[in-house]
Amino acid sequence: MDARFEFLTRMGDSCLVLSQRVSAWCGHAPAIEEDIAMANMALDLLGQAQMWLSLAGAHEGKGRSADDLAYLRDVWDFRNLLLCERPNGDYGQTLMRQFLFDAWHHLMLDQLSRSSDREIAEIAAKGSREVAYHIERSRDLVIRLGDGTPESKARMQAALDALWPYVGEMFADDGVDMTLAGQGAAPLPSSLRE
């Protein structure tokens, strides 16, 4: 197994899958401002997926493009975080999933922007600017809904309860992570908890 390719596809696949999930809200969000914000977030994530998967394809050396990796692999070949696959559910669940991902993603990209791997650092630096907005927005909305009406608070708590079991995976280290951390190319996910 090629640890760098595996890591790049993990990053790209998580952004790709979540982008697809978030884009389903286009035309269905509770307010036009939210509709536009969700569409923009989906596009940001899709752009990040394209960068990660392009680099993965180039590194692999088999002539596969970002599109090939995004659309011509079997479902079992995807390496995204399971949180990203979770159904949208109601708007509160979508926001909670986005917040949990954004919190991790912001920390990960911040560390990756200092990677010893120049290409990884460049992608992370570009994505970090977008994700800074994502985390600010999702955090503010989660707080606002959590502090809102009894119904909105109950929905946000239910969303957190449903999604929390998927958070641990974001901070679990495996052989790929240890290899890249040993090269200074990526942090250990467990170190992001600190």
Amino acid (1-letter code) at residue 99:
F
Whole-structure pTM value: 0.96
Quote the tokens at residue 176: 């790929």
Give percent of the chain above pLDDT 70.
99
Distance (Å) of CA 171 to CA 34, 100, 187, 189:
29, 12, 10, 4
Quote the tokens at residue 124: 């992370």
pLDDT of residue 194: 75
DSSP string, 99-159: HHHHHHHHHHHHHHTT-SSHHHHHHHHHHHHHHHHHHHHHHHHHHHHHTS-HHHHHHHHHH
* pLDDT, average across residues 114-120: 98
Report the distance separating Cα 176 and Cα 186, nearest Å. Answer: 10
Q: What domains are defined for the chain? A: 3-187 (1.20.1260.10)
* Cα Rg of the chain, angstroms: 17
Asked whether 3 and 179 are in contact (CB, 8 A), the reply is yes
pLDDT of residue 93: 96
On the question of pLDDT at 127 being above 90, the answer is yes
